[in-house]
Amino acid sequence: MRIAATTTAFPPYYFSQQEVVEALKTYWGNGPDNGAVLDRLHSRTGVEWRYFSRPLEEYHGLDTWGKANNVWIETAEQLGQQSIECLLKQTGLARDRIAALFFVSVTGVCSPSIDARLVNRMKLSPQIKRNPIFGLGCVAGAAGLARAADYVRAYPDQVAVLLSVELCTLTWQRGDMSAANLISSGLFGDGAAAVLVAGDKVPLPGPRIIDSHRVFYPETHYVMGWDISEKGFSIVLSPDVPKVVRENLGRDVDGFLATHGLTRSDIGTWIMHTGGPKVLDASAEALGVERDALEISWEALRRVGNLSSASVLVVLDEVMKHQRPKPGTRSVLAAMGPGFCCEMLLLEW
């Protein structure tokens, strides 16, 4: 099993954090006094720029869940097609070679799902195996990659595509002045990422997926997720997220690596979900590594914000395209998310 190609895709609207803060002061009217709360919270997110599905002034008009979700459908189709076409161009494969399509998102819904719409839009194979996955949130990038690897392990002469589209800004809640909603409005952005995974009998180069591992933490469902109502998605974001990361990540990575006779010292590159500053600091502490070991994740956070499930794939794309390790180097790709749970993969370059 190999990661043969990766890509990212973003909407055309790109704004600095200060531009977003000023727009949100208008969006929320007289909510946070003089905008001081927004200024303070947004300055601590580690985000400098983010992509948006629409110009900032158009968010005023997205005053119902239906309107926002329609934008999600339209944008998800566009970014999805762009992502898959890029993968095919990189590998030289025809569209009908995609045997399975895994689609992950937690920021919008539709039925038929986006993967079905892309089969029609792109004239993909009518025999394609569709796997839409909703609800995994930030962990879905790693989980989806693991599921795609499981597929090509069973069908080594085939290829599978993982597509993540997360349009987090379309979930803003106008009437929610909670700290969680205000923080999320400064942390999350919009974007897509995709990965093409090839079975062992497909002659495409790329890092090997050696194995994957997952851990579910019972009774931690309150840590992260959505409260869903007629208004749409309202963020659930507990201050306990860094604590859960700090208490579990290192132990679970150690257990996973031990099954392959490895320790953390054998890992040359850490490909981690961007989370936020507190999550990245907690991840470094849990893994016993210096901050610099996660610099690719920090840079992704600065450049595009937290993209939920797409974030770890954005980091993977940067490693694949610009910071590829030496042959033989081992990497751990990992993310944590609603459940609360962790998914990780062991790669070899």
- Give the count of beta carbons closer than 10 Å to the beta carbon of residue 84: 25
pLDDT tens, position by position, 35-88:
788 888 888 899 999 999 999 999 989 999 999 999 999 999 999 999 999 999
Beta bridge partner(s), residue 14: 51
Predicted local confidence at residue 29, as pLDDT: 65
Write 112-115 long-range contacts (CB < 8 A, 24+).
Answer: 114/73, 114/76, 114/77, 114/80, 114/163, 114/165, 115/80, 115/163
Residues whose CB is less than 8 angstroms from the CB of residue 6 and which lie 6 or more positions away in sequence, other chains included: 87, 193, 194, 195, 196, 313, 316, 317, 320, 321
Catalytic residue among 86, 110, 138, 341: 138
Taking 90 as the threshold, does the pLDDT of residue 169 lie above it?
Answer: yes
Q: Could you tell me the two tokens for 248? A: 């579990």
Q: What is the pTM of this model?
A: 0.94
- Name the pLDDT band for 329 (thresholds 50, 70, 90): very high
pLDDT value at residue 227 = 79
Residue 33 has what pLDDT? 60
pLDDT at 214: 96
The strand order across the sheet containing 341-348 reads 129-134, 98-105, 159-167, 190-198, 2-9, 208-216, 341-348, 330-337, 267-272
- Per domain, the residue ranges of the chain are 2-198, 208-348
Q: Give the orientation angle of helix 311-322 with respect to helix 140-154, to 10 degrees.
A: 70
pLDDT classification of 263: cutoffs 50, 70, 90: very high
Contact criterion met (CB below 8 Å) for 349 and 328 = yes
- CA-wise closest residue to 45 among 196, 184, 187: 187
Average the pLDDT over 2-11 and give the result.
98
What's the pLDDT band for 327 if we cut at 50, 70, 90?
Answer: very high
What value does the mean pLDDT of the chain take? Answer: 94
pLDDT exceeds cutoff 60 at 306: yes
10, pLDDT greater than 80: yes
Report d(CA 175, CA 334) in Å as an integer. Answer: 34
Q: What mean pLDDT comes out for the span 110-120? A: 97
* Intra-chain end-to-end CA distance of the chain, in Å: 12
Higher-pLDDT residue of 20 and 179 is 20
pLDDT of residue 30: 57
The first and second tokens of residue 211, run together, are: 């194995």
pLDDT band of residue 299 (cuts 50, 70, 90) is very high
Closest CA to 104 of 29, 28, 194: 194
CATH for 2-198, options being 3.40.47.10, 3.20.20.70, 3.30.210.10, 3.30.565.10: 3.40.47.10
Q: How much of the chain, in percent, has pLDDT values that exceed 70?
A: 98
pLDDT single digits (tens) 144-165: 999 999 999 999 999 999 999 9
- Residues 298, 46 contacting (CB under 8 angstroms): yes
The residues near 84 (Cβ < 8 Å, ≥ 6 apart) are: 98, 118, 122, 161, 163, 194
pLDDT digits (tens, 9 = 90+) for 200-229: 999 999 999 999 999 999 988 888 888 788
* Confidence at residue 31, expressed as pLDDT on a 0 to 100 scale: 54
DSSP-assigned beta bridge partners for residue 271: 333
pLDDT value at residue 238: 83
Rounded to an integer, the average pLDDT of 230-242 is: 85
Report the percent of the chain where pLDDT is more than 90: 81
Distances (CA, A) of 113 to 67, 103, 121, 162: 17, 9, 12, 14
Smallest CA-to-CA distance from 197 within 167, 154, 136, 260 is with: 154
* Lookup result for tokens 């890029």: 86
CB of 266 within 8 A of CB of 303?
no
pLDDT at residue 242 is higher than 80: yes
pLDDT computed for residue 156 by the predictor: 98
Query: Which CATH architecture best describes the domain 208-348?
Result: 3-Layer(aba) Sandwich (3.40)
In the annotation, is 342 catalytic?
A: no
Q: Is the pLDDT of residue 172 over 80?
A: yes
* 208-348 and 2-198 share a CATH fold: yes
Angle at 228 between CA 227 and CA 229, to 5 degrees: 120
The pLDDT score that the predictor gives to residue 174 is: 77
